[in-house]
Amino acid sequence: MLGGLDGLGIDGVVAGLADTAMRCGRLDLVAAAGWLQEHQPPSAPEVICHGDLHPFNLLVAAGGAVTVLDWSAGLLAPAAYDVAFTGLVLGRAAGGGSVDAAPGGARGRPVPRSTLPLGVRPAVTC
């Protein structure tokens, strides 16, 4: 079983998704959640995962230091969780999915602090 600490792990995420799907009458998604619980990958150590890791949650300083923003979706999960989520997000973008524009049209360039929403604070700097 993919364990979790008080619902913060994968089991808690899947259970929450199944509960939401049930309340919305999406029995297909309830069944999918059940399948995920029954066909879990081999266990791996749980680590702190970001849960929503994609380029718009990263700030890169001119010197190369990276700050990871917005830890509101953080959870305990195998490290592969963040890799899979990021691959899914980037794959959708490459496949024609929509991606919001960078603040101030700054894609690929430094983002001026004045364009960032109030309350954006670095949670982790590597």
- Report whether pLDDT(41) > 80: no
Tell which wins on pLDDT, 10 or 19.
19
DSSP state of 39: T
Tell which wins on pLDDT, 82 or 115.
82
Question: Model confidence over 54-64: pLDDT tens digits?
Answer: 889 999 999 98
The CA distance from 117 to 104, in Å, is 12
| Domain range list for the chain | 1-43, 44-125
Provide the pLDDT confidence category of residue 109 given band limits of 50, 70 and 90.
Answer: low
Mean pLDDT of 12-26: 89
The CA distance from 73 to 49, in Å, is 9
Mean pLDDT of 64-88: 89
- Report whether pLDDT(14) > 50: yes
Give the bridge partners for 78, in sequence order. 46
**pTM of structure:** 0.51
- Report whether pLDDT(39) > 90: no
The CA distances from residue 124 to 11, 49, 66, 74, in Å, are 26, 12, 8, 12
- Report whether pLDDT(95) > 90: no
* pLDDT of the residue at 88: 81
